[in-house]
Structure 1
């Protein structure tokens, strides 16, 4: 999800082309509060130089990579984009083979004809922002009145607005709410789908320092990679073609060669997707003491097993490099987040803010009547749900995500649910109902090692059964656990020997004939 282009654009920089009543709250907030503080800190740009729909501005040189999974900067008038090495890691891995291991050796296209196309890669430009708060809130009120809001109410509101405004524009239109529905904005995006890898350093430079350096500071890595964006002859988005040409962007960032100095002004602009910076002290405490410890331990266990197999076999190393990187990235994020939450006493800062909020509420009888129990109820609610949240986190980290074999089994479970719901008697290879399971398994098993997967699942199942109450295990696991007298390695051996999910070939062979829901289960 692309969402907004950082706080400056998503929340306060709506100005220039907006009508008199469109987004005035955002404009005035920026004009009266944010911009003076930015100038005080050393900003020399004017608002229209940061965001502008009528003339080139800084926002035109900032792009979303893969729908907001990463941020890039346009640095040449021939569509060259620089981003982080970790953003491009999966692309570099997908292009690598034992014969041409670009991940280990790096890649550089000396000419444009040498640049490597990337299937499914996208680069997106923000073209316009519109404030639709009043309209969105009216739609929400109407849905609530008709009792049709439901649990996906916010998505319904988005859909109505996206359909209304997306039909007569060449851009993709996406609605997003700010501050839990206080504001609703429409974002107009232009997405290019012919993106090619231009250059990337070897992983020992791009990810120098490994997990020790990731999310810590200062870093010492060459964390960059280069893409080029192509369009048709008129510069419009187009599917990959040898006839496409590099786009001419509206704005290009100048790369300074003068270095940085103490006191230089700095700000961040990009596509963060969402923020949790407004969490209550109770929510921060839950993150630090309930979920992050589970994430850190479970992912560290997975990483240790994977690394041992990767170091023992070069083929496994290449297969699992991208998986290892992705797992370590968030494991390290959770570790450093906890370090910083304690270092800067974030819970204490939030608690002090809440004390001031409580005093403000208590100073007015009307506020006291409406909000007097707010903070106490927050505390009570978070304390009541702590164990359930911890158990859910163990379920997600040790049962749902770690094993490719288990992922395939889960997809078959979803298929069985659909068969039973829709009255499908049987499925087999070649049926449209089986196509999703087949294609996902083929893609996943391309980078798969049976011994690694089995050891990971064994360790994760031990962690799950050791930490989650038995009554939360479901129906089948307790029976198998008792059958093998708590011997998890033996249980996993049995499961692997009696399933078609351990390889793409076995899966297809087993479904060569029709299978009923009962057989699949």
Structure 2
């Protein structure tokens, strides 16, 4: 009899067998849509064994990590959780120092009192999924413009979320749109935020193959780490405390040592990201020619700049390890996606589908009236955005995300007005918020690395993009600094209150609005954001 193997976990489920039946579904749909076919393929569980809102089920062994960045699995009765090495990479890095380099050497807690609490880490258990499509779509009609429709949908989802939160404020609620705004669901979660690092292999195991092997299969890396969920004495979520105890799960996975055989039923549960599976042929072409290469080019410069500093200084290597890995992840992804789109001739396949759609539309007068312009509208959209898509990518990748000081300047700039408020409570509250921003920003920051990132990324932005699409502050650099971003950067990294933790703390002690309003880092940040938002 075929064995059942759980490989990962989440609210979307995909299964396949030797017959190559496959698909992806929301968990609450299984019983209605495909329980029988899955069991015929070898599944030995019922749909209720997988998803049950009243009793323990497989969904209770599968957790969402940090709001959806990763999927993890509870594998013991004492809250032990298995996840990927790269999912805990930032946590491992946060505990590492040149003297105790857990990234390089790995970490293994030999007793529970050696497990280390991870700041800002949390796991979420799925409680239930509710379909609110009918209620949301009752607020829209075919005569609405897209902006009107989006606003009506957003307002109704906000109302629904408020109702859920009022009914039970102990849970968190994600309002999700599926199938490009045609279906809507409420995902209810229970969050636990006392999470502790238990084990991580050395990078030589956990990142074996590095960027070369990333997004490639088969992979040969030991991409795993372990964390543990802690709860209060009643097994409820609680903030970190030495009095907390290991969480007792409703259900945990049991790891089989029996192995698998050819043709065994395989099911994957997990929390995937978004998909562009329904992209049109014009969208595929834009991705191949413009969007993907722009991301890769910007990130290539960023990676090389970071690596030069990381190779020269072990402390910088540790500080920037997670940033480097995050940047490299989708740098490699878009390289591979472009190759795959070309190799599989996806654009040609899309054109065939669009031709079939056009034929189907034209066979019926009513369909022609409803959908006759659809393909032309899509084509016109991509034709109109081809000229600006590179500028948008560069504004994000080389601008907002290019160097840390730009994003910090944007966040500080948006919150700074509270520093000049008339009431002391608002001023002190703003200072506290901005100090939290600064603590997060400077935790893994090196001034010289960031200075070179600022210069290299913005120079590339200026050189590669049509001046008509430049942020307004680029003209200041061109006119006042003779186009030299290095000279502009010298003013920032020598004088800006955003240049260091000490300088920013001194500014908050005695904030001057003139200093803030004239700050070159904030001015650059705001101008890039304004360009990106257009």
Q: Secondary structure at the match of 1:81?
A: strand
Q: Secondary structure at the match of 2:387?
A: helix
Pairwise CA distance, 1:87: 0.5
- The whole-number CA distance in structure 2 between the counterparts of 1:112 and 1:519 is 47
The answer as to 2:2 corresponding to 1:5 is no
- The whole-number CA distance in structure 1 between the counterparts of 2:426 and 2:489 is 26
Q: Secondary structure at the match of 2:318?
A: helix
Pairwise CA distance, 1:352: 2.0
The answer as to 2:156 corresponding to 1:157 is yes
Q: Secondary structure at the match of 2:78?
A: coil
Q: Secondary structure at the match of 1:177?
A: strand
Pairwise CA distance, 1:374: 0.8
Do the aligned partners of 2:140 and 2:149 also contact (CA within 8 Å) in 1? no
- The whole-number CA distance in structure 1 between the counterparts of 2:75 and 2:497 is 49
Do the aligned partners of 2:64 and 2:70 also contact (CA within 8 Å) in 1? yes
Q: Which residue of 2 aligns with 1:121?
A: 121
Q: Which residue of 2 aligns with 1:501?
A: 498
Do the aligned partners of 2:124 and 2:192 also contact (CA within 8 Å) in 1? yes
Q: Which residue of 2 aligns with 1:432?
A: 429
Pairwise CA distance, 1:12: 4.6
- The whole-number CA distance in structure 2 between the counterparts of 1:496 and 1:47 is 59
Pairwise CA distance, 1:464: 0.8
- Which string of whole-angstrom CA distances, capped at 9 and with x for unpartnered residues, describes residues 188-221 of structure 1? 2111122111111011211111100111111111
Q: Which residue of 2 aligns with 1:21?
A: none
May I ask how many residue pairs the two structures share in their alignment? 500
- The whole-number CA distance in structure 2 between the counterparts of 1:7 and 1:204 is 32
User: Which structure 1 segments of 5+ residues have no match?
Assistant: 16-25
The answer as to 2:333 corresponding to 1:313 is no
Q: Secondary structure at the match of 2:163?
A: helix
- Which string of whole-angstrom CA distances, capped at 9 and with x for unpartnered residues, describes residues 377-410 of structure 1? 2112111111212111111111111212223332
- Which string of whole-angstrom CA distances, capped at 9 and with x for unpartnered residues, describes residues 337-363 of structure 1? 222222222222222222221121111
Q: Secondary structure at the match of 1:452?
A: helix
- Which string of whole-angstrom CA distances, capped at 9 and with x for unpartnered residues, describes residues 318-354 of structure 1? 1111111111112111112222222222222222222
Pairwise CA distance, 1:426: 12
Do the aligned partners of 1:426 and 1:515 also contact (CA within 8 Å) in 2? no
Q: Which residue of 2 aligns with 1:168?
A: 167
Q: Which residue of 1 aligns with 2:90?
A: 90
Q: Secondary structure at the match of 2:271?
A: coil
Q: Which residue of 2 aligns with 1:14?
A: 28
The equivalences for 1:377-416 within 5 A come to: 377-415=377-415
Pairwise CA distance, 1:445: 1.5
Q: Which residue of 1 aligns with 2:524?
A: none
Pairwise CA distance, 1:427: 11
Q: Which residue of 2 aligns with 1:222?
A: 222
The equivalences for 1:33-112 within 5 A come to: 34-39=34-39, 41-112=41-112
- The whole-number CA distance in structure 1 between the counterparts of 2:183 and 2:425 is 49
Q: Which residue of 1 aligns with 2:463?
A: 466
Q: Secondary structure at the match of 1:462?
A: helix
- The whole-number CA distance in structure 2 between the counterparts of 1:368 and 1:102 is 63
Pairwise CA distance, 1:304: 0.8
- The whole-number CA distance in structure 2 between the counterparts of 1:58 and 1:215 is 28
Do the aligned partners of 2:11 and 2:27 also contact (CA within 8 Å) in 1? no
- Which string of whole-angstrom CA distances, capped at 9 and with x for unpartnered residues, describes residues 139-165 of structure 1? 456xx89x9968544332222112223
Deviates more, 1:466-475 or 1:307-316: 466-475
Q: Secondary structure at the match of 1:77?
A: coil
Q: Which residue of 2 aligns with 1:22?
A: none
Pairwise CA distance, 1:430: 6.8
- Which string of whole-angstrom CA distances, capped at 9 and with x for unpartnered residues, describes residues 438-497 of structure 1? 321232122222221111111111111112222332433213213333333333334433
Do the aligned partners of 2:31 and 2:47 also contact (CA within 8 Å) in 1? no
Do the aligned partners of 1:429 and 1:435 also contact (CA within 8 Å) in 2? no
Q: Which residue of 1 aligns with 2:18?
A: none
Pairwise CA distance, 1:273: 4.1
- Which string of whole-angstrom CA distances, capped at 9 and with x for unpartnered residues, describes residues 409-449 of structure 1? 32343246x46xx9858999974334333321232122222
Deviates more, 1:351-360 or 1:468-477: 468-477
Q: Secondary structure at the match of 2:510?
A: coil
Q: Which residue of 2 aligns with 1:491?
A: 488
- The whole-number CA distance in structure 2 between the counterparts of 1:155 and 1:189 is 20
Do the aligned partners of 2:31 and 2:48 also contact (CA within 8 Å) in 1? no
- The whole-number CA distance in structure 2 between the counterparts of 1:299 and 1:148 is 33
Q: Which residue of 1 aligns with 2:302?
A: 302
Deviates more, 1:45-54 or 1:119-128: 45-54
- Which string of whole-angstrom CA distances, capped at 9 and with x for unpartnered residues, describes residues 71-100 of structure 1? 101111111110000000011111122222
Do the aligned partners of 1:106 and 1:201 also contact (CA within 8 Å) in 2? yes
Q: Which residue of 2 aligns with 1:374?
A: 374
Deviates more, 1:461-470 or 1:283-292: 283-292
Return closer, same or farther for 1:11/1:166 CA change in 2, 3 Å cut-off. farther
Return closer, same or farther for 1:383/1:359 CA change in 2, 3 Å cut-off. same
- The whole-number CA distance in structure 2 between the counterparts of 1:291 and 1:396 is 12
Return closer, same or farther for 1:512/1:61 CA change in 2, 3 Å cut-off. closer
- The whole-number CA distance in structure 2 between the counterparts of 1:187 and 1:487 is 50
- The whole-number CA distance in structure 2 between the counterparts of 1:129 and 1:81 is 23
- Provide TM-score, normalisation by structure 2: 0.86
Pairwise CA distance, 1:281: 2.1
Name the Cα RMSD after superposition.
3.0
Pairwise CA distance, 1:37: 4.7
Pairwise CA distance, 1:121: 1.6
Q: Which residue of 2 aligns with 1:452?
A: 449
Return closer, same or farther for 1:191/1:413 CA change in 2, 3 Å cut-off. closer
- The whole-number CA distance in structure 1 between the counterparts of 2:514 and 2:140 is 41
